Structure 1
Amino acid sequence: MLYLSIILSIIFISGVSWKIILAVISLPSIVLTALIVIYFKFNNFFQTKLLILLLPHQRSRINGWLNPFEYTDQGYQTKQAITAIGSGWYSGKGWMEGIMYVPEAHTDFIFSIIGEDTGFLGTSIVVSLFFLLIYKIVILGVKSNYSFGGYMCSGIIGLLSFQIFQNVGMNIGLLPVTGVTLPFLSYGGSSLLSNMMLMGIVLGVSVQTNRYMFEIDQ
């Protein structure tokens, strides 16, 4: 999924015909829409006819995601994360004052701890900072003097956006738990190193793009 987010972002700005892009994404979109409609409108059919086609551990993970408070064993992480974020209310319980136990809180579920300790205010600041970072990369990509720099910025934007959306989404129960880290906040050397390398690429594009006061035009 991470690779796909990079590829689709680059294709999106590469000038490929919209007809080709729509043809590629139409089938997955139709299938996803159909599954959502069936789940909400014909839940009994969804449970008895569709889920039965999957393996037991796959069914338990899907049920744990869709109904974490009903399937408490399978959806334990999601249930604890939702409860932690909800208990933070507007301003949180205070730094390091959270009492909810969330498995892997320092990695995949760091957002739930931020929500419990700092509340809606703290999580809003975190999300706003991510938006600001992505916005700055967008501006840099648009101003890039060469197309390759724009493509690199586009791929990085897609990757960071997907990681943020997926991680926050699984913390609030919107998306299934996948193990995608929250950039720059989740514990893990490889995650931090790879994201810092991405920022190095962005800075490299910036160096090639910036113009200076005393620069001599060739």
Structure 2
Amino acid sequence: MDYIIPIITLLLIISGLIIIGSATYDKGSPLLENSFLKKQVLATALGILAIMLILFIDYRVLRDYVNIIYISNILILVIILFLGKTVKGGQGWLRLGPVNFQPAETAKLAVIITLADVLAKERYNVKYILGLIVPGIYIAIPFALVLLQNDLGSALVLLAIFVGMIYVAGANANFLLGTFLGGLGSVVTWIWLHLKFGVFIPLKQYQLNRLLVLVNPQLDPLGAGYNVIQSKIAIGSGGGLGKGLFGGTQNQLNFLPERHTDFIFSVLGEELGFLGAVIILIFYFILLCRGVKVAREAKDKFGELVVIGILSMFTFHILENVGMAIGIMPVTGIPLPFLSYGGSSLVTNLIAIGIIINVNIRRKKMLF
């Protein structure tokens, strides 16, 4: 086993618990009685248990159940559209007794597994547009269902997973880059036409505002731009070494919104400063690099693609979350892996780590 992967993961989780403890600290009650910390510790325990169970099963067995995994995933996402609980504008939560569960998180893993199986069969030459049609359909259905839940962030994660996996499967890099730049240019042009001439745009006003404040947060300083403004103040005021745990004014005085979930990196920057933020980013960099090594050494194409899909998911989460905290990416509500509060996200990410370790320990054939 590549022990660096579980060690780095554990260090990130411990860091997350410390920052969550500071972000949700109530001076009137002991830290150990913090309900957010208790739930995060419980989610950590469930995730570690899931890793242990995963390691006993050869990851290649998943290929025998890809159809069941994919259809089940689609059915759950459809059910959410009718029975889902709306939280902060997104209808993507399912109530399971005392627990709120977000199926969009596990949907990412389901998409990775099914898409890896499709691409590993090499029936479709993804170097050409025609070869991308079938893999594109596989991703388009869950993408549309997640988008209908008003969860743009998770939908973009699925798109990032798709791009990462087809690139490793052989898609033309210039074509992908050209498509991205063309899509970005089209979105910018569409928004400009909407603002200038009132052309219809399939976005709600608050979603449009989030894109506009990316250019200038002061357009709506008390509305859509408020989160970004307060986040940048928090990170900037942290300086080189930070204000110390439980010492961040933006955090402790409740100026910083969603500080234990979406803007956990802002708390990190304010209280542990540039140094603390860089250390966490180095942890992520090491985790991703070791993951790439596992993918390259995988026994088969399926294992390689699964790991690449997971790394694509992690990479987009990190870039988007940190980017929106410092004001260079739109606010989409994507959590920071292993640091942000959230049971669904943490358990899903630990399962993903378990799959990476599974591919790693089975990279060589055992001879008897």
TM-score normalised by length of structure 2: 0.51
C-alpha contact 1:63 1:71 (8 A) present in aligned 2: no
Kindly indicate whether the alpha-carbon contact (under 8 Å) linking 1:61 and 1:75 is maintained by their aligned counterparts in 2.
yes
Pairing 1:173–2:327 present: yes
The 10-residue stretch of structure 1 (136-145 or 202-211) with the greater mean CA deviation from structure 2:
202-211
Contact 2:206–2:224 at 8 Å: present in 1 too?
no
Q: Structure 1 residue 206 and structure 2 residue 360: aligned? A: yes
Q: Deviations over 1:44-94 (max 9, x none)?
A: x77952777546444433333321134202210110001000000100001
How far, CA to CA, are the matches of 1:50 and 1:163 in structure 2?
Answer: 34
The 2-side partners of 1:205 and 1:185 are apart by 24
The code of the aligned residue for 2:182 comes to: I
Gaps of 5+ in 1: 39-44
Q: Percent identity?
A: 35
Deviation readout 1:134-157 (Å, 9 max, x if unpaired): 001001111112111111111011
Judge which range, 3-12 or 156-165, deviates more. 3-12
CA deviations 1:150-188 (Å, max 9, x no partner) are 111110110000000000000000001001000000000
Q: Which residue does the alignment assign to 1:90?
A: 240
From 178, 181, 187, the equivalent of 1:26 is: 178
Q: Which amino acid aligns with 2:268?
A: I
Match of 1:42 in 2: none
Tell me which moved more, 23-32 or 175-184: 23-32
Q: Is the 8 A contact 2:194 2:200 kept in 1?
A: no
Equivalent-residue separation in structure 1 for 2:333 and 2:195 (angstroms)? 28
1:3 to partner: Cα distance: 1.2
- The 1:27–1:199 alpha-carbon spacing in structure 2 relative to 1, beyond 3 Å, is closer
Alpha-carbon distance in structure 2 between the residues aligned to 1:209 and 1:29: 37
1:162 to 298, 312, 316: 316
Q: Across the two proteins, how many residue pairs are aligned to each other?
A: 206
Aligned to 1:187: 341
Residue pair 2:241, 2:276 contacting (<8 A) in 1 also: yes
- Displacement after TM superposition at 1:5 (Å): 1.4
Letter in 1 for 2:341: Y
1:61 corresponds to 2:210: yes
Tell me what 2:261 maps to. Answer: 107
| TM-score normalised per structure 1 | 0.84
Question: In the alignment, what sits opposite 1:49?
Answer: 196
Contact persistence 2:160–2:313 (CA under 8 A):
yes
**Structure 2 counterpart SS, 1:80:** helix
State the distance in 2 between where 1:50 and 1:59 align. 15
Contact 1:84 1:112 in 2 (8 A): yes
Structure 1 runs of 4+ aligned residues shifted over 3 Å read 21-25, 33-36, 45-48, 50-59
Instruction: List alignment gaps of at least 5 residues for structure 2.
Output: 1-155
Whose RCO is larger (CA < 8 A, sep 6+)? Answer: 2
